[in-house]
Amino acid sequence: MAETSIPVRTCVGCRRRAPVTDLLRVVVSSGILVPDPRRRLPGRGASVHPTPGCLLAAERRRAFNRALRLPGGSQLEAGPLREHVHGSSSEGAGTRTRTGSSTEVEQGGGAALTTSGSSTSDRHSAGPHVDRTQVG
Ligand SMILES: [Zn+2]
């Protein structure tokens, strides 16, 4: 039982603690956020879930600047990181995100845009049918 302890980091996007195997390590190289999935690159790294939602949340609150101990005004290029995150999922392949000129949609909680597939909304179909209609 030597390799069972996996380090836990806090995602800079959703601020939840998760094992490093679930998170993507990100380092900065000359102002560019570089994904480091193998966690091999030197220097200070930030951990984030490799999901568009957590990445967006981290970018909005400048969590990378804070986690990487960068000056607050420094602009970070997140292009390679976005490509890595969006590339892991099958959707959103050529979506360019312009900073500042796109339509701003206010989403609390950093929910990603789930287009395909149904969510867990129809949970009424599971389990025994309980009729709560009170007659009388
Ligand atoms: Zn997260």
Boundaries of every domain in the chain: 1-91
For residue 93, what pLDDT is reported? 42
Strand partners, 19: 8
In the reported structure, the alpha carbon of residue 120 is separated from the centroid of ligand 1 by a whole-number distance in angstroms of 20
d(CA 81, CA 131) in angstroms, rounded, equals: 50
Tens of pLDDT, residues 22-59: 999 999 999 999 999 999 999 999 999 999 999 999 99
In the three-class reduction of DSSP (H, G, I as helix; E, B as strand; rest coil), residue 90 is classed as: coil
In the reported structure, the alpha carbon of residue 21 is separated from the centroid of ligand 1 by a whole-number distance in angstroms of 13
d(CA 130, CA 29) in angstroms, rounded, equals: 58
Cβ neighbours of residue 113 under 8 Å, at least 6 residues apart?
Answer: 52, 92
For residue 94, what pLDDT is reported? 46
For residue 63, what pLDDT is reported? 95
d(CA 55, CA 31) in angstroms, rounded, equals: 17
Is the pTM here over 0.85, yes or no?
no
In the reported structure, the alpha carbon of residue 8 is separated from the centroid of ligand 1 by a whole-number distance in angstroms of 13
In the reported structure, the alpha carbon of residue 53 is separated from the centroid of ligand 1 by a whole-number distance in angstroms of 8
Question: For residues 58 and 127, which has the higher predicted lDDT (pLDDT)?
Answer: 58
Is CATH 3.30.1230.10 what the domain over 1-91 is classified as, yes or no?
yes
In the three-class reduction of DSSP (H, G, I as helix; E, B as strand; rest coil), residue 104 is classed as: coil
Residues constituting the chain: 136
Tens of pLDDT, residues 61-112: 999 999 999 987 788 999 999 999 998 655 544 444 444 444 444 444 444 5
For residue 15, what pLDDT is reported? 97
In the reported structure, the alpha carbon of residue 129 is separated from the centroid of ligand 1 by a whole-number distance in angstroms of 36
* Helices (H), ranges, 16-135: 52-60, 63-67, 79-88
